[in-house]
Structure 1
Amino acid sequence: MNTIENAKEIISSYKREDGKKLRIMEVCGTHTHEIFRLGIRKLLPESVELISGPGCPVCVTPIGFIDEACMLALEKGAEICTFGDLIRVPGTEMSLAGARSKGAVIKTVYSPLDAVSYAESHRDEQVVFLAVGFETTTPSACLAVEKAKKLGLENFSILGANKTMPNAYKALEGSADAFLYPGHVNAITGTAVCEELVKKGVSGVVTGFTAAELLTALAVTIELSQRGEPFFRNCYPRVVKPEGNPAAIKLMEKVMTPCDSEWRGLGIIPMSGMILRDEYADFDARKKFALPKITGKPNPACRCGDVLQGKCKPSDCKVFGKVCTPLHPIGACMVSNEGACSAYYQYGNL
């Protein structure tokens, strides 16, 4: 029997005598979409429930961040460079697409270094890159700041919303029986954090993104959960090493330092964000443009925050698929390609 068939058998035959469900949270938004796309949810028995977590960087970025970006573009005259997903995320009054319709310059880039190149060729304009993401993308933002400093670009800065996962796992403790850890994050951070969480009673398995990897991770989670003890297993060893990526970690530590950070739906999580160190303060857009403290106001009809905490499914939201669609999103979870609402809308409520 091959690996996939063996994993399928373990998953499909799982039963619990106590009638409770084994709740597994796929923290990573890409895992959510791939599990849907590959039809894996259809293989799960009644005794296993998959719930989506806060592993979509666009989704957990607070509304106030969008408001800050719109202020930079409309009131401060900055040209905004950003990844495409952020453009349609609603702010308190408008999205970046709305700001563009009012004359703001909003440019889509594919990497932070693209924004640096744009700033280098447009030295008469103030260019701000919207830096969002977890440990996977934060090193590239740090690299961009390093390059801008080396080039002496006084017209480049970043508006940061970079986040780290370890304290988010702690904030979500009790929301699931086990986590499917995001393989691309662990490729940077290594496995030490996950191993440490086991000592605090938090279980999880790190996995990749293919059908075989996801099925294996689910089968391993099911098998280990039956032992009744906290566990961790690296099911993505071809990419995730215990030490992670030391060069990327060193770069992040050089350019940024931990800080408290607001997560949509989760509130302020202590020491879960990254901000530029004082040596790089000239590249901090908040300081450069003296931005005021902005607290965004979410649409009360949107349950994006509950979805990100695993408290409800997207389909439980009254506006899901009706008022809130990918073409007319009310919340970030419907906008992002990694968002849970987007996955449910595209693949159905399985």
Structure 2
Amino acid sequence: MMEDKRLCYSHLDSIRDTAGKLAGSVTLMEICGGHTNVIMKYGIRKLLPDNVRLISGPGCPVCVASQYDIDCVIELAGRGVPVATYGDMMRVPGSVKSLDGAKAEGGRVFEVYSTTEVIKIREKHPDIIFFGVGFETTSPMSAFLISNDIPVFSVHKLVPPAIKALLAEGAAGITGFIDPGHVSTIIGAKAYRDIKSPQVISGFTPEQVLRSVSILLELIVDCREEVINCYPEAVSEEGNEGALELLASRFKVADSSWRGLGVLPDSGLEVRDEGLDARLIHQDILSGVAEPLKTGCMCGQVLKGLLEPNQCPLYRKECTPTDPKGACMVSEEGGCAIYYRYGK
């Protein structure tokens, strides 16, 4: 513990020294709910120099699912299609209700913690579908279900295209990125190499995050648009080749709709086998789902780093963890829920 503290102080000294060499202010974005949690829990933002701003991006897998896709799955559940999904998705609000609400009204909705549970549920509900949510980290589990002939409604997203979209839009003025650790264990450091921005892949301890900030600032000072892997104990250059092969066999890359970012080209995973794509199997039901109306929730702006959660007019008023109005307040990795947890 004392060694960790010593390293944290050492990295903070390096951060201050390097920040003094910057030509002006910089904005760094982390794209992982786990990193956001560590940063908020240990007050890392408050420790940084005034010219170094750290913001959160679209790092919550539940949060980036589009409102329309959520409404589609709620409609399926309400029309008698048995739906299984992970716990975080149960409480994410749709336009009218959540999957929890659909279940309370008689919908066949099953909250699961592993894909093996879905296979067991199929014994009694042979027409079960799985609502596949998440980044590259969780998508292999959906691929496993497809391999077992269970249809998947995929809203799986790919992180590198989102980084490119944020850079292209430029609204948040991002100077460099702290790339997600868990996602990177699957896709490897090479997945970020064609992105023209300073980047560091980070672990999840306070010491690792501070070290990543320090190295990221050095890249910025030296004008180096490179990717530095500061999490080599878990992340390789090539990634998890077995998982990537499984994904490629069951999914194809396709355009995908993100909350806050809109439709991004080649940013999602679509089921290859049309007979196991829940969207196509139930397109007769889904054809009647309307595009959602805009609400006062500012999740999209939070995910793009344009607003802090406490700048949303609903935050801590109409929107709380017990009564969430937006996805960012539901998941433990959501920026609004993390802010709320640490009293911001």
The equivalent of 2:111 in structure 1 is 108
Matches within 5 A, 1:18-167: 20-75=24-79, 77-119=80-122, 121-123=123-125, 125-146=126-147, 148-149=148-149, 156-167=150-161
2:175 is matched with: 177
Partner residue, 1:301 = 296
Shift of 1:219: 1.2
8 Å Cα contact 1:14-1:47 kept in structure 2: no
* 1:36-57 deviation line (CA, Å, top 9, x unaligned): 1123223112111111101111
- Measured in 1, the distance between the counterparts of 2:72 and 2:104 equals 17
Q: Name the structure 2 match of 1:221.
A: 216
| Cα contact 1:92–1:298 (8 A) shared by 2 | yes
Q: Is 2:226 aligned against 1:231? A: yes
| TM-aligned CA distance change 1:17 to 1:4, over 3 Å | closer
Contact 1:299 1:330 in 2 (8 A): no
Secondary structure of the corresponding residue to residue 194 of structure 2? helix
* Gapped regions of structure 2 (runs ≥ 5): none
Q: Which residue of 2 aligns with 1:288?
A: 281
Query: In the alignment, what sits opposite 1:275?
Result: 270
Q: What is the number of equivalent residue pairs in this alignment?
A: 334
Q: Deviations over 1:303-331 (max 9, x none)?
A: 11001111111111111111111111111
Contact 1:62 1:296 in 2 (8 A): no
Identity rate, percent: 38
Query: Any unmatched runs of 5+ in structure 1?
Result: 150-155
Q: Residue 272 of structure 1: CA displacement?
A: 0.5
Query: In structure 1, how many angstroms separate the alpha carbons of the residues matched to 2:22 and 2:245?
Result: 47
Distance 1:12 1:84 in 2: 41
Amino acid paired to 1:84: G
Distance 2:210 2:63 in 1: 26
* 8 Å contact from structure 1 (residues 80, 127) kept in 2: yes
Contact 1:13/1:45 (<8 A) preserved: no
Q: 2:280 & 2:226 partners in 1: Cα distance?
A: 43
CA distance in 2, matches of 1:192, 1:181: 12
The code of the aligned residue for 1:141 comes to S
Q: Does 1:194 align with 2:197?
A: no
* TM-score of the two chains, using structure 2 as the length reference: 0.92
* Counterpart position of 2:314: 319
Alignment check: 8 A CA contact 2:255 2:268 kept:
yes
Name 2:244's counterpart in structure 1.
249
Deviations 1:246-268 (A, max 9, x none): 11111000111011000000000
Asked if the contact 2:18–2:221 (Cα under 8 Å) also holds between the matched residues in 1, the reply is no
Q: Contact 2:87 / 2:111 at 8 angstroms: preserved in 1?
A: yes
User: Structure 1, residues 59-81: CA drift from partner, whole Å, max 9, x if none?
Assistant: 00011122111111111x12221
Structure 2 Cα separation of the partners of residues 306 and 115 of structure 1: 34
**TM-score, normalization by structure 1:** 0.90
**CA distance change for structure 1 residues 191 and 298 in 2, over 3 Å: closer, same or farther?**
farther
